[in-house]
């Protein structure tokens, strides 16, 4: 698996990220496109994972505080799920957060069905549940 990153929203990497997000969030989960593609795109670091040049997963990172990084828009194409790709993506995110941002913890808002996946990777739920784009979520964090 090869990972590429960009902050350039005119790049092919970013376009691959958007294509994955459109497939997973907009088509599969019926998220409103106006909620999925937002004003933070140009501020984020976009990550895309490739298998043999095929973009299969994505996430974006935002620096929220001096020592924390917010993980958002984590998605794996349906035909590549259950292959350990999400775990590889989270490992890459962890390394990137430590090396490029010098962060000490990661935070994210997980869809409730994905909480067990994140817990296996060391994340813990905190706070009350909430709806985001009509989907139940909980906030999670992990020290790095």
Residue for token pair 């001096």: 66
Residue 119: both structure tokens together: 């817990």
The arrangement of strands across the sheet holding 54-65 comes to: 2-6, 45-51, 54-65, 68-76, 105-111, 135-143, 124-132
Secondary structure (3-state) at 16 = helix
Contact by Cβ (8 Å): 115, 97: no
What confidence tens digit (pLDDT) does each residue in 20-42 have? 999 999 999 999 998 899 999 99
pLDDT of res. 66: 81
Q: How far apart are CA 6 and CA 96, in angstroms?
A: 12
Q: How far apart are CA 10 and CA 59, in angstroms?
A: 17
Contact by Cβ (8 Å): 23, 77: yes
25 CB-contact burial (10 Å; exposed 0-12 / middle 13-18 / buried 19+): buried
To the nearest 10°, report the CA torsion of 3, 87, 74, 15.
Answer: 20
Range 2-143 has CATH code 1.10.569.10? no
> What are the structural domain ranges in the chain?
2-143
pLDDT band for 121, please (50, 70, 90 cuts): very high
Q: What is the pTM of this model?
A: 0.94
* Residue 103 pLDDT greater than 90, yes or no: no
Residue for token pair 């496109």: 33
């Amino acid at each position: 698996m090869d990972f590429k990153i960009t902050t350039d929203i005119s790049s092919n990497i970013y376009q691959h990220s958007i294509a994955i997000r459109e497939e997973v969030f907009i088509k599969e989960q019926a998220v409103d496109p106006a909620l999925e593609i937002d004003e933070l795109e140009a501020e984020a670091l976009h990550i895309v994972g490739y298998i043999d040049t095929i973009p299969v997963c994505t996430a974006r990172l935002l620096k929220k505080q001096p020592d924390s990084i917010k993980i958002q828009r984590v998605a794996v194409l349906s035909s590549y799920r259950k292959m350990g790709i999400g775990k590889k993506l989270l490992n890459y995110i962890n390394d990137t957060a430590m090396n490029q941002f010098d962060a000490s913890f990661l935070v994210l808002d997980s869809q409730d069905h994905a909480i067990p996946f994140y817990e296996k990777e060391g994340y813990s739920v905190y706070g009350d549940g909430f709806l985001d784009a009509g989907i139940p979520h909980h906030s999670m964090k992990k020290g790095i």
